[in-house]
Structure 1
Amino acid sequence: MAAHSPDLAEQLAFGVLLATQQAASPEMRSELVSLHDASTADYQNEPGESIKLAETPQAAALVLVANTILNLDSALTR
């Protein structure tokens, strides 16, 4: 996702498209960006936790949001 665009909202929308084959709604984009921002802040306050997922708090937050995208009902295969 990070290689797709320098813009976070575009990265997350691309992740949704890849996982679900559907475009992310503006509301979903907003929610995912908010989740990323909150997660980044949490990981900056707890650097020991972020290093378990990635090298930086921002990258760790991106991992968390990517996991959230993969757990969307529309992304799950049966």
Structure 2
Amino acid sequence: MLCNVQPRLNLPVVFLHDGWFIFFMVLFAFSNGYLASLCMCFGPKKVLPHEAETAGAVMAFFLSLGLALGAGLSFLLRALV
């Protein structure tokens, strides 16, 4: 949100070069992918064996819910910029 996106309405530009935007996107993509993969791999192993399938399904549901809410809220954040 603080990158150089035009037109600017409310927030100042802190990161003037577009390379910062690319850097942040790559950093977030790798960290989110790595952490989500770790959670999906190790989550079902941390519950009782007969609950592992349910735990995996619940984790997949909430991952999908988070992605959908993030996509929906991005329109609100875009309105702030």
Structure with the bigger RCO (C-alpha within 8 Å, sep 6+) is: 2
Q: Name which one, 1 or 2, has greater alpha-carbon Rg.
A: 2
More helix by share: 2
TM-score for both structures, normalised by structure 1: 0.37
